[in-house]
Structure 1
Amino acid sequence: MSYDQQSTPITAFELRRQLDGLVYTFVRALGAKGRTGFLREDGPYWIVHHVTLGWVAADFDSNEIMGRPWDLLTPQSPEAPPEGIWVSRKGPKSYVYDLVYI
């Protein structure tokens, strides 16, 4: 279900790693400088909306992108990241996730 079909705002989602089923939960949060994004429950990892790039996994104050939706053609609402396949990079490794609203 896309965000446009939702009647209530998305407040949380999961990234489910396809390789081994590991699940990360993200919740809507306010950053230190008053910016809204989604914060991972187990650490200071953010998924934020970038004006040019859309939704990405990144630090608010960094230009380093650590993850993003695989299908870049999917329309993105500024309210919540798109469901579907996401990819990430951690050092020399890459991972594939399913982003699912909860």
Structure 2
Amino acid sequence: MRGEEAMSPLSSFTFVRHTDGLSHHFERAGERHGRPAFRRTDGNVWCVWSPTDGWHCEISDGLVTAHPLGGRADGPEPPATVWRSFKNDRSYLYDLRTALGAE
């Protein structure tokens, strides 16, 4: 668990797909709605928080493409849990993994 006093803010994370291990790396890229925003390093996909959608991923036109499972997530950072992506007729499960303690 991330303790506020000992841990620095999240600077990056990786989504790892359940079916085949494909990974997508995200790095912090400013803020949106007063919370950190993260951009996928190989494309124009963002992981952001909004008052209407909570934490989610979206593409450049604002189309939401992923949410954490288990309901709306409103914490200060994207939750390290299972996320479901959806695009056209496809849907995948991903683990959001952080590298705690990495410098």
Both proteins in one fold, TM over 0.5:
yes
Q: Does 1:92 align with 2:89?
A: yes
Secondary structure of 1:76's counterpart equals coil
TM, length-normalised to structure 2: 0.79
TM, length-normalised to structure 1: 0.80
Q: CA RMSD in A?
A: 2.5
Q: With CA pairs under 8 Å and 6+ residues apart, which has the higher RCO, 1 or 2? A: 1
Structure 1 pair 2–89 and aligned structure 2 pair: CA distance change class (3 A): farther
Residue correspondences, number: 96
Structure 1 pair 77–85 and aligned structure 2 pair: CA distance change class (3 A): same
Q: Give the match for residue 76 of structure 1.
A: 74
Shift of 1:59: 3.6
Consecutive unaligned residues in structure 1, runs of 5 or more: none
Consecutive unaligned residues in structure 2, runs of 5 or more: none
Structure 1 pair 2–53 and aligned structure 2 pair: CA distance change class (3 A): farther
Q: Percent sequence identity over matched residues?
A: 34
Shift of 1:5: 8.0
The one-character-per-residue Cα deviations of 1:36-77 (angstroms, maximum 9, x if unpaired) are 510001111101111122111014652x2100101116x532
